[in-house]
Amino acid sequence: MKKLRVILDEREVDGNPFQPDMWRIVRRYPLTNDVNFYQARAVDVDRTLLMDYLPGQFVMGSVSGDGEAPFCISSTPSRPGLLELCIRKMGTLTETVFSLKENQTIGIRGPYGNGFPIDKMEGKDILIIAGGMGAAPLRSLLLYALDNRDKFGKITYLHGARTPGEMLFREEFMQLKERDDLACLLSVDEDDTGAWTEKIGVVTKLFDEMEPIDAANTYAAVCGPPVMYKFVIQRLVGLNIPKHQILMTLERRMKCGIGKCGHCAIEYLYTCMDGPVFTYWDVLHMKELIGKGVSDNVIA
Amino acid sequence: MSSPKVGIYGFTGCAGDQLMILNCEDRLVDIIGAVDIHSFAMAKSDNQNKELDVAFVEGSISTEEQLEHLKDIRSRAKVVVAIGTCACWGGPQAMKLEEGGFEDRYGGVYGDANITVTKAFEAQPVDAFVEVDMKIPGCPIDKTEFLSAVSKVVAGRHPYFYKFPVCTECKWKENPCILNEGKFCAGPLTKAGCGAVCPSHNIPCVGCWGPTDDLNLSGEYKLLVEKGYDTDEIMRKFKKFGGAGIAKLIKSMKDEQRGVSE
Amino acid sequence: MMILKMKKEDLSVFLETAKEWGELWGPTRKGERIAFEKVDGLSQMDLKATRTMIPPKKFLYPQRFTMFDFDDKGYVERTGHAPNRILFGVHPCDIHGIQIMDKLFLEEFKDPYYAERKEKTLLLGHSCIPDDKCMCTETYTEFIAEGFDLFFTDLKMFYLVWVGSSRGHDLVRLKPELFSRDIGKEDILSYNEYRKWKKSQIQAETDFTGMPDIFELGYDSLVWDELAEKCLACGQCTMVCPTCNCYNVVDEVELGTVDGTRDRFWDSCMFREYSLVAGGHNFRDKRVDRLKLWYTHKLQAYIGEFGEPSCVGCGRCVATCPVDINVVTVTEALREQEVGR
Amino acid sequence: MKTLEVVPLTRVEGDGGITVTLDGKKVQSVTLDVHEGPRLIEQLVRGMKPEDDLNVVPRICAICTLSHKYAAIRGLEKALRIDPPEKAQLMRDLMMLGESVESNSLHTFMLALPDFLGYPSAIAMLGDYGDDVKRALKLKKFGNHVMEVTSGRIVHGENPGLGGFGRYPSGTQLKEIAASAKELLPDAMRAVELFSTVKYPEYPEVETVFMSVNAPDGKYGLAGDSILISNGEEVDAEDYKKLTSERVVTHSFAKRSAFNDKSFAVGANARMINMGKRLDGQAADLFKENYSDRWLRNPLLNNLAQAIEMVWALEHLPETAEKVAALDDPARADATRETGSGTGAVEAPRGILYHHYEIKDGLIEVADIITPTAQNLDDIEVHMKACAEKMLAEGKSDEELLPALEMTARAYDPCISCATHLVKLKRI
Ligand SMILES: Cc1cc2nc3c(=O)[nH]c(=O)nc-3n(C[C@H](O)[C@H](O)[C@H](O)COP(=O)(O)OP(=O)(O)OC[C@H]3O[C@@H](n4cnc5c(N)ncnc54)[C@H](O)[C@@H]3O)c2cc1C
Ligand code: SF4
Ligand code: SF4
Ligand code: SF4
């Protein structure tokens, strides 16, 4: 048997860090018409248990013949045993993954990236803002916080999607609304079903619905399409949340996930190693991102 | 799984790409084993016109008859792959696309004889007439690149093609840059995939793979003017193989220049 | 450090003996083409050639190679095929370049492909004859104190040989009689003379130290746009740069099977595809964005992180770029706020 | 009246069709049409620099790419008065030998043999004649290899140029070529064995005139400055128009040639008929054993001629490669004038290829390219007509007629795509 890896902090890897392990898809169902949800377990059982990760980290998923691509982990480390991924059909590899059935295998290596700074977030209020696919990594954070409910202050979850049909984990989040230990606000840009009972409007509208926050004591985590960042960040800065407490996950092209291939470099940082979670304060120092929709208007 | 049904067709060109398929000597048997070749006019007699999984189309389209045949192929095939620079861009016979003068050139060859087989027109790439799912350029196609693409196409996957210019492969081969000797080289404009054969033989790239994904035509144009090239000659060299692709780029470069001078 | 003396004429014998360890590679010249190639012996090398087109990074990290073979059961790494190689005639700047690559590939998440080739390559450095494109004094890479197995400094009548590693010492021990420790005053003087000579040879004048600030200040400078208008996006600069490491990965499948290979090949941040993501969004769609990345990475970000540029002053971009975009012209343009001719 | 159509004519490179119109027991007409679109290459290269022309014209045909390259080089070098160095000349011989082996092995074993043995394709022959198919592949691969080494790649190599080559092959490569050629000789002998034992039907037999180049120094060869005619005449290549007098026919995009208003043939059989006596080695013996005056009538024997030529090529490859290896790499020879005209005549595997250029101030004013297939088309029609008539007279069925006609056309090794041609229209 291949030697097992111990990951996380030391980032020490025995053997070949590019070596994917085979994971079996135990469950698969569609979340929307172009996003599938996958639960996977390592073919080598011990490997599953050793997959210790932080919310916000990602894995490199492999399909032989199509290569590799990064995917955020949607499950929470507080519920070990299964790895959960949401995958949107976008191109070469994701199209093949999309067509994979239960019981088929997929290559996985990781986890990689820094993840959310859970140690710093503990004891604080948490404000999560998810747009579209952004729900994939943020679900991990949300579920982790809920599983460790006593370690966190107030939890607010804002989630926007274009239509009800495109909202990831819609049922799951609707159920969360029943809970009284968090505020869960959902909205869609447009209700094409006529049956939507929640808010209608862009995600920033939800800020108006939310209870006042204790800004200095709040960590905000944002993930969504590039256009969303600009508006959400404006609101967060407007709320006076310290810039180093605004967390955002960035997306970049990646070929290795471990700081070798160079593609995800942004100035001196590698999205894969130093990110994908960055604070807004980090981003403000990245000239390349300024003026590209992420942080213009708010520099001053 | 039944093997995919494949057809290989040739239109206006030199038949070099079909020949390259035949030239896959050691791999030919693998190809025949992996796919069910329904039609390959250049190589066999018992050809059928049925539904196809993949149609490989070589050559540019330059007569009414070809156009009809092409449309028929498209209607029968799930995936249409243009192979070779003629099919992808038009090839050398399309070097004067957008310039007009086809009738004069035609008359220059055939006089006023009324050729009855079919009506001819200026050669154009396949995608000028029907939807093309994939392009494998090259004059002729490169064996390795072709086999790599075919292996994926028949498995229903997306092939990967180098998107960078010939210069990259040229540097992999460690050739001194011909542009730096003050001579023309189409390397920066041309899609890689050939292994930079020409520069590796101390010969400038002539652009036979057609334009690459991202190029700076006006940059190279200015550079060549600086090096003392005649502007007509530069244009002729640019247009040698890239047909419709390069014509489009030249048009936008000229628009740009006009915009600047206004 | 152990420094030994060797007679000029003994080099060829020494290299012949060293071949016991592995293939001998050295700089060769064919017309204008200068490249590290496999050679039979000293006579096939051109030790006067200033720079090879491609730096020795190609040995540690070839232009294209296979990482894994795969089938339906999984991925099997393809290592263990690299031959033992002796790389002779590597110049100080290139050894500095390798050290920068080492930092990237060997520290966090050790890259086994690089590591294996590094392990199987003996680096035998050699002093060089700078030309007008070299700028190693500006990057402090004109001499080298470590990172080689042996280093030969040509002092006209003899060689001084630095022994940089235990394996280098093993090579010396193959023919100890060729080396002596007998170094006198004359030798020291001529070494010092050599150092002065080398520094005096560098003509390029660039000041990289102030670059992080200049880059920061000039990030939106129109000079960049002017440069980008000239850049042919040919990628030559990245291919020839000893500290450019970017790569791409692609799977190849065997016709009609599920077997195949996962291959890795050199990529460049000067290409549009480099930052393109699925769905068509490109984080660096314009050439100017890509050009900025290249230069800010080498001369700003890297200095910010490690206190020195990741340019080793080899002059390859100066010699190669057809439109004269290189560390010298770019830094000058930014300082002077004007693109030179 | 009924029409038999054989469209497309398979296993010839390109897009062509034969239409045979029958009127009862009479053949009303036989037309070989080239449906492939015209490319007007000669018009496109006008105004180009000679070196740019050299990139374009080989693309007329992938099979004869090097013949086109070489014919163009010869024409352009004459026009510009370029005197190529000896090594370049030898390299050109070498590349032509490579092309000859490649093309002849493909045609004899893979394209023609199935006709003679009654298989639909070479693939179908794999079971019964696996060894011969393998032989063909081996020979073809070797031919391709020689083309690759000399020209830069298998098809459309750019290495051969005006006044010399971009890069010369290494001694090791040349040594390997010499060794492989020697090794493959028995495989070429097998082709001769096969084609000297198959049956050649008499149907298409009609007496014809044959033309080939006159290789220099009284040797058998693939290029020359004058043309030999089987009637004993010899004509300067510059007078190629007299030999080919081209005309347009309305049923085809390929122009036609005629000599003294009659059809003529070019190809390996023409070369053997005109230069066979100059052969040496085993090729000479094979020629003597197999030659008869039937060659002057029956186009099918072209296949046998190709097989013998393959033996000749393999016998000459080693010494040519060795001679190339013995010389130092020369610099390219330069043009000594900017205005002039010249005609290059080269033997493509399927016959004489002419490239005529008129250059003014360094730019091409006139390019005239006459391909071997264009020259053969009339002859193909004549022999096919004879074949059809005789078979009909014997009461043969259409099913028997069709393959016989295809076989006849195919014997000319026609390269339809390159028949897309040229020359000014001659009005009477
Ligand atoms: C940190 C991170 C987390 C991600 N998490 C998820 C997730 O949870 N679910 C999900 O559906 N998608 C996620 N993505 C996006 C996902 O990686 C891309 O959709 C995927 O790479 C597309 O690959 P493809 O082969 O289908 O597309 P193609 O366009 O064919 O891409 C070819 C290759 O380019 C690279 N590439 C293309 N787009 C991206 C991209 N956006 N990011 C990185 N590399 C890219 C990959 O190496 C990919 O294999 C994430 C991206 C990053 C950077
Ligand atoms: S020689 Fe041509 S292909 Fe090679 S780098 Fe220079 S421009 Fe590019
Ligand atoms: S280098 Fe250029 S001309 Fe030569 S083969 Fe490649 S693409 Fe064609
Ligand atoms: S900077 Fe020069 S070498 Fe680099 S991509 Fe641009 S033109 Fe090519």
Distance of CA A80 to the CA centre of its chain: 17
Chains linked to B by 3 or more Cβ pairs within 8 Å: A, C, D
Mean per-residue pLDDT, B233-260: 85
Using the Cβ of C32 and the Cβ atoms of chain B, whether some distance falls under 8 Å is answered with: yes
Q: Answer whether C107's CB lies under 8 Å from C145's CB.
A: no
Going by pLDDT thresholds of 50, 70 and 90, the confidence category of residue D250 is low
Q: List the CATH code of the domain at A118-295.
A: 3.40.50.80
Find the C289 Cα to ligand 4 centroid distance in Å.
Answer: 13
H/E element holding A23? strand A21-30
Q: How far away is chain D from the Cα of B262, in angstroms, using its nearest Cα?
A: 31
Q: Does D47 touch chain B (CB under 8 A)?
A: yes
Contact C276 A253 (CB under 8 A): yes
The helix, strand and coil proportions of chain B, stated in percent and rounded to the nearest 5, come to 45, 15, 40
Asked if pLDDT for residue A300 goes beyond 70, the answer is no
Q: Please, which pLDDT band fits residue D186 given cuts at 50, 70 and 90? A: very high
Interface test with A, best of B157, B161, B164 (most A CBs within 10 A): B157
pLDDT surpasses 90 at B87: yes
Nearest residue in A to B149, CA atom = A65
Residues of chain B with Cβ-Cβ distance to C261 below 8 Å are none
Interface test with D, best of B9, B14, B49, B224 (most D CBs within 10 A): B14
Who wins on pLDDT, D41 or B172? B172
User: What is the pLDDT averaged over residues B116-141?
Assistant: 87
**Which of A34, A75, A106, A253 has the most ligand 1 atoms within 8 A of CB, as the residue to mutate?**
A253
DSSP state of D418: G
CA terminus-to-terminus distance, chain D: 32
Mean pLDDT value across residues C104-124: 93
- Best B164, B203, B226 residue to mutate vs chain C (most C CBs within 10 Å): B164
* C125, C194: one domain: yes
Same domain for B102 and B181? no
Number of domains in chain C: 2
Contacts of D277 (CB under 8 A, 6+ apart): none
Per-residue confidence (pLDDT) for residue D415, from 0 to 100: 67
Query: Is residue C281 lining ligand 1, measured as CB closer than 6 Å?
Result: no
pLDDT digits (tens, 9 = 90+) for A246-282: 999 988 899 999 989 999 888 778 889 898 999 999 8
Q: What is the pLDDT of residues A23-38, one digit of tens each?
A: 999 999 999 999 999 9
B159 assigned to some structural domain: no
Supply the angle between the helices B231-261 and B217-226 in degrees, to the nearest 10: 120
- pLDDT-based confidence at D247, cuts 50/70/90? low
> Given a contact as 3+ CB pairs under 8 Å, which chains touch D?
B
Question: Is any ligand 1 atom within 6 A of the Cβ of residue A93?
Answer: yes
Pick from C235-239, D67-71, D375-379: least confident: D375-379
pLDDT for res B47: 65
Answer yes or no: do A66 and B158 touch at CB < 8 A: yes
- Chain A residues with CB under 8 Å of C65 CB are none
- Domain identity same for C195 and C222: no
**Which pLDDT does position D227 carry in this prediction?**
95
User: Does residue B160 sit within a domain?
Assistant: no
Domains identified in chain B, total number: 2
B205 CA: nearest ligand 3 atom:
2
- CB of A251 closer than 6 angstroms to any ligand 1 atom: yes
C154 and C9 housed in the same domain: yes
| pLDDT confidence tier of residue A11, bands split at 50, 70 and 90 | very low
Asked if C313 and C139 touch (Cβ cutoff 8 Å), the reply is yes
Band of pLDDT at residue D401, cut at 50, 70 and 90: confident
The DSSP 8-state label assigned to residue A244 in this structure reads: G
State pLDDT tens for residues D116-175: 888 877 778 878 888 888 888 899 999 999 999 999 998 999 999 999 999 999 999 999
* β-strand pairing of A218-223 with A125-131: parallel
Give residue C299's pLDDT: 84
User: Kind of pairing, strands C33-38 and C23-30?
Assistant: antiparallel
CB D281 within 8 A of CB D273: no
Query: Would residue B161 count as lying in a domain?
Result: no
Confidence at residue D2, expressed as pLDDT on a 0 to 100 scale:
53
Decide which of C178, C201, C224 is a domain's last residue: C201
Residue C300 belongs to domain spanning: 211-336
Quick: pLDDT tens for A105-159: 999 998 999 999 999 999 999 999 999 899 999 999 999 999 999 999 999 999 9
Listed by number, the residues of chain B in 74-133 with a beta carbon closer than 8 Å to a beta carbon of chain D are: 91-93, 95-96, 102, 105-106, 108-111, 113-118, 120, 123
Q: Same domain, yes or no, for C224 and C185? A: no
Q: How far is ligand 4, taken at its centre, from the CA of residue C239, in Å?
A: 10
Question: ipTM score here?
Answer: 0.89
- Is residue D136 one of the residues assigned to a domain? yes
Provide the CATH number for the domain around residue B26: 3.40.50.700
Contact in structure between B24 and B147 (CB atoms under 8 Å): yes
At CB < 8 Å, which residues of chain A contact B? Answer: 65-66, 91-92, 95-96
Question: B109, D59: Cβ pair inside 8 Å?
Answer: no
Average pLDDT of every residue of chain A: 86
Given pLDDT bands bounded at 50, 70 and 90, which one contains residue C340?
confident
pLDDT of residue A230: 85
Whether C271 and B163 lie within 8 Å, measured CB to CB: yes
Q: Does one domain contain both B189 and B103?
A: no
> With an 8 Å Cβ cutoff, is D422 touching chain B?
yes
Residue type, A256: C
Name the band, by pLDDT with cuts 50, 70 and 90, for residue A295. very low
CA-to-CA distance for D55 and C47, rounded, in angstroms?
38
Residue B126 belongs to a domain: yes
What pLDDT, on a 0 to 100 scale, did the predictor assign at position D113? 87
Cβ contact (<8 Å) for A255 and C283?
Answer: no
From the alpha carbon of A67, which atom of ligand 1 is closest? 49
Q: Is B262 exposed, middle or buried (CB count within 10 Å of its CB: 0-12, 13-18, 19+)? A: exposed
Query: Over the stretch A166-193, which tens digit does the pLDDT of each residue have?
Result: 999 988 988 888 888 998 899 999 888 8
Average pLDDT estimate for D4-22 = 53
Q: At A210, phi and psi to the nearest 5?
A: -80, 150
Higher pLDDT, D425 or A214: A214
Tell me, yes or no, if B254 comes closer than 8 A to chain D by beta carbon.
Answer: no
Q: Nearest 10 degrees: CA dihedral of A239, A242, A245, A249? A: 70
From A252-261, B17-26, C129-138, the region with the lowest mean pLDDT: B17-26
Find the CATH number of the domain harbouring D175: 1.10.645.10
Joined tokens for residue C81: 């095929």
Pocket flag, ligand 2, residue B178 (CB < 6 Å): yes
Distance CA A114, CA A128 (A): 18
pLDDT tens, C282-292?
Answer: 888 889 989 98
Rounded to an integer, what distance in angstroms lies between the CA atom of residue A179 and that of residue A163?
24
Q: What is the mean pLDDT of residues D344-349?
A: 95
CB contact under 8 A, A91 and B157: no
- Could you please state the CATH topology (level 3) that the domain comprising A2-112 is classified under: Elongation Factor Tu (Ef-tu); domain 3 (2.40.30)
Residue A203 zone, left/alpha/beta (φ > 0; ψ -120 to 50; rest): alpha
CB nearest to C269's CB, from A11, A64, A262 = A262
pLDDT at position C32, please? 87
Predicted local confidence at residue D259, as pLDDT? 72
Domain boundary assignment for chain A: 2-112, 118-295
A175 touches chain C (CB under 8 A): no
| Nearest C-alpha in A relative to C68 | A19
Confidence of residue D428 (pLDDT cuts 50, 70, 90): very low
* Nearest alpha carbon to residue D270 among D347, D333, D198, D331: D347
C156 lies in the same domain as C226 = no
Comparing CA positions, the residue from C96, C113, C94, C93 lying closest to residue C105 is: C113
In a domain, B248, yes or no: yes
- Work out the pLDDT band at B45, boundaries 50, 70, 90: low
* Cβ within 8 Å of A, C 256-285: 258, 260, 262, 267, 269, 274-279, 281, 283
DSSP letter string, D168-181: PPPHHHHHHHHHHH
CA of B207 to the centre of ligand 3 (A): 5
Predicted confidence (pLDDT) at residue D5 exceeds the cutoff of 70: no
Give distance in angstroms: CA of B202 to centre of ligand 2: 10
Using one digit for the tens of pLDDT, what is the confidence trace for C220-232?
A: 889 999 999 999 9
Write out the DSSP string of C14-83: HHHHHTTTSEEEEEEEETTEEEEEE-SSGGG--TT----SS-THHHHS-SEEEEEEEETTEEEE--S-PP
Position B106 confidence tier, pLDDT thresholds 50, 70, 90:
low
Which residues of chain D neighbour B230 with C-beta distances below 8 Å?
none
Residues in chain D with CB shorter than 8 Å from the CB of B116 are 250-251
Which of B114, B130, B154 is the endpoint of a domain?
A: B154
Angle between the C327-336 and C222-230 helix axes, to the nearest 10 degrees? 150
Distance A93 CA to ligand 1 centre (A): 8
What's the mean pLDDT in C159-182? Answer: 93
**Residue minimizing CA distance to atom 8 of ligand 2:** B167
Q: How confident is the model at residue B66 (pLDDT cuts 50, 70, 90)?
A: confident
Establish if D308 belongs to a structural domain: yes
B141-190 confidence digits (pLDDT tens): 999 999 999 999 888 889 999 999 999 999 999 999 999 999 999 999 99
Residue C322 Cα, ligand 4 centroid: separation in angstroms?
7
C182 with C218, same domain? no
Q: What is the pLDDT of residue B115?
A: 62
Domain that holds residue B255: 166-261
How confident is the model at residue C341, as a pLDDT?
61
Distance of CA D225 to the CA centre of its chain: 17
Which residue bears the tokens 């060729």?
C178
Of all residues in chain D, what percent carry a pLDDT higher than 70? 88
Asked whether residue C129 is assigned to any structural domain, the reply reads yes
- Residue B34: its chain C contacts at CB < 8 A? 255-256
The pLDDT of residue D9 is above 70 = no
Band of residue B243 on the pLDDT scale cut at 50, 70, 90: confident
- CA–CA separation, C314 vs C241, rounded Å? 8
Which residue spans within D282-428 are E strands per DSSP?
Answer: 340-348, 351-360, 363-370
Give the Å distances, CA to CA, from A194 to A34, A163, A234. 21, 11, 31
Encode pLDDT of C17-58 as tens digits: 999 999 999 999 988 899 999 999 999 999 999 999 999 999
Contact B70, B45 (CB under 8 A): no
Q: Look up the pTM and report it.
A: 0.90
Within a domain: C272: yes
Q: Binning pLDDT at 50, 70 and 90, where does residue C338 land?
A: confident
Whether pLDDT at D51 is above 90: yes
Do the beta carbons of residue D255 and residue D423 sit within 8 Å? yes
* pLDDT on residue C112: 93
In this structure, is residue C181 part of a structural domain? Answer: yes
Same domain, B135 and B179: no
**Ligand 1 nearest-atom number relative to CA A275:** 1
Amino acid at D185: L
* Residue to mutate (ligand 4; options C53, C225, C227, C236; most atoms within 8 A of CB): C236
Least-confidence region, from A278-287, B43-52, D351-360: B43-52
C-beta atoms of C233 and B30 within 8 A = no
Q: Which amino acid is at A37?
A: F
Q: Is any ligand 1 atom within 6 A of the Cβ of residue A58?
A: yes
The string of pLDDT tens digits covering residues A48-93 is 777 889 999 999 999 999 999 999 999 999 988 899 999 999 999 9
